[in-house]
Homo-oligomer: A and B are copies of this chain.
Amino acid sequence: MATIRDIAKLAGVSVTTVSRVLNNHPYVSDKKKEAVLKVIEEINYKRNIHAVHLSKGFSNLIGVVLPKIDHPYFSSIVEGISEEAIKHHLQLVLFQTNYEPAKELEALELLRGTLLDGVIFCSRAISFDVLKEYKNAGPIVLCEDSDQSHFPSLSIPHEQAFQFGLDYLISKGHTKIAFTLGRMEGPNSKKRRKAYKTKMKELGEPIRSEWIFDKCLSITDGKQLMEKLQHLEKKPTAFFVTNDQVAAGILLSAEQYKIKIPQDIAILSFDNQPIADIMGITTIEIPIRKMGKLAVQSIIHCKEKREQTNKKMTLPFRLIERKTV
């Protein structure tokens, strides 16, 4: 493999000059620049990117950690991230963690080892205390409704949004409201639970733990929910679910249980993915792609200013009324 020194020799200039040409530094005479370019062309020289990274100390790689790429919510975030990353010539390194802390740590270790210029947590399982140990390793952004003030975070206000959704259901005459969560102890879920508690108290309704369903994320989960519903002694009149996939699962299996939606049970979900449009699901839109985009911008900001921000960014949500409430 040819090196910059070979080129320097062949072009009759110094390695510095070659480097300058490679990096578009202005202080190179046209004559030398041409000579260098000519040699580069002739021997089909390719820069050794590892050497570049070693010298510069960074890599234009950013880590994206998420539990499962094969879920519309996460693949949408990644799409948002990807679009923005391309604009800034950043590459994405994917960490599919399945919520295993060890795999999340791997990304953080690579951040510390400067392989990654930053890490975006689309969701996380590791504790906040562990995360804080990597505070100085490089830019970290969290896509969650976070109360901490150590890392920038990015989310809709889940508590407000959930209350808003509950108010909507209540305005439609519902008071018997069940709900589902992705992960009971996830940061966003905690907010949703809190909102539920508050609102049920307001209504004077009891909190029935059997009306709170954990680990509901996919269409399949939604389908199974209908099965579980059969065994419930007291049945809710509305379901406020994790996302459009769960809602879709419910809709798709409602018929076989002879349940009419929204007459028997109303369904309200989050996200507003394409499937919500197609199936007529009433949902609270989350600007998922926008979140991804802003996450990248935040990383870039931290990187350029060489400063750690801890800005909490709150994105807007909105109700999309369709046919399930």
Task: List residues of A whose CB falls within 8 A of some B CB.
Answer: 46-51, 53-54, 57, 59, 61, 64, 68-72, 75-76, 78-79, 82-83, 86, 91-96, 103, 110, 112-115, 218-220, 223, 249, 252-253, 274-275, 277-279
Minimum Cβ distance to chain B for residue A223 (Å): 6
Cβ-defined partner of A253 (8 Å) among B76, B114, B223, B278 = B278
Q: How many copies of this chain?
A: 2
CB pair A69–B79 under 8 Å, yes or no, is yes
CB neighbours (8 Å) of A253 from chain B are 278
CB pair B75–A69 under 8 Å, yes or no, is yes
CB neighbours (8 Å) of A47 from chain B are 113
CB neighbours (8 Å) of A57 from chain B are 50
Minimum Cβ distance to chain B for residue A262 (Å): 17
CB pair A278–B219 under 8 Å, yes or no, is yes
CB pair B220–A274 under 8 Å, yes or no, is yes
Look across to chain B and name the residue whose beta carbon is closest to the beta carbon of A92.
B94
CB neighbours (8 Å) of A83 from chain B are 96
CB neighbours (8 Å) of A110 from chain B are 49, 91
CB pair B61–A50 under 8 Å, yes or no, is no
CB neighbours (8 Å) of A49 from chain B are 110, 113-115
Look across to chain B and name the residue whose beta carbon is closest to the beta carbon of A55.
B50
A70 CA to B110 CA in the complex, in Å? 26
Minimum Cβ distance to chain B for residue A236 (Å): 22
A258 CA to B207 CA in the complex, in Å? 43
Minimum Cβ distance to chain B for residue A255 (Å): 11
Minimum Cβ distance to chain B for residue A61 (Å): 7
CB pair B86–A103 under 8 Å, yes or no, is yes
Among A48, A68, A115, find the residue whose CB has the most chain B CB atoms closer than 10 A. A115
CB neighbours (8 Å) of A75 from chain B are 69-71, 75
CB pair B50–A78 under 8 Å, yes or no, is no
CB pair A79–B86 under 8 Å, yes or no, is no
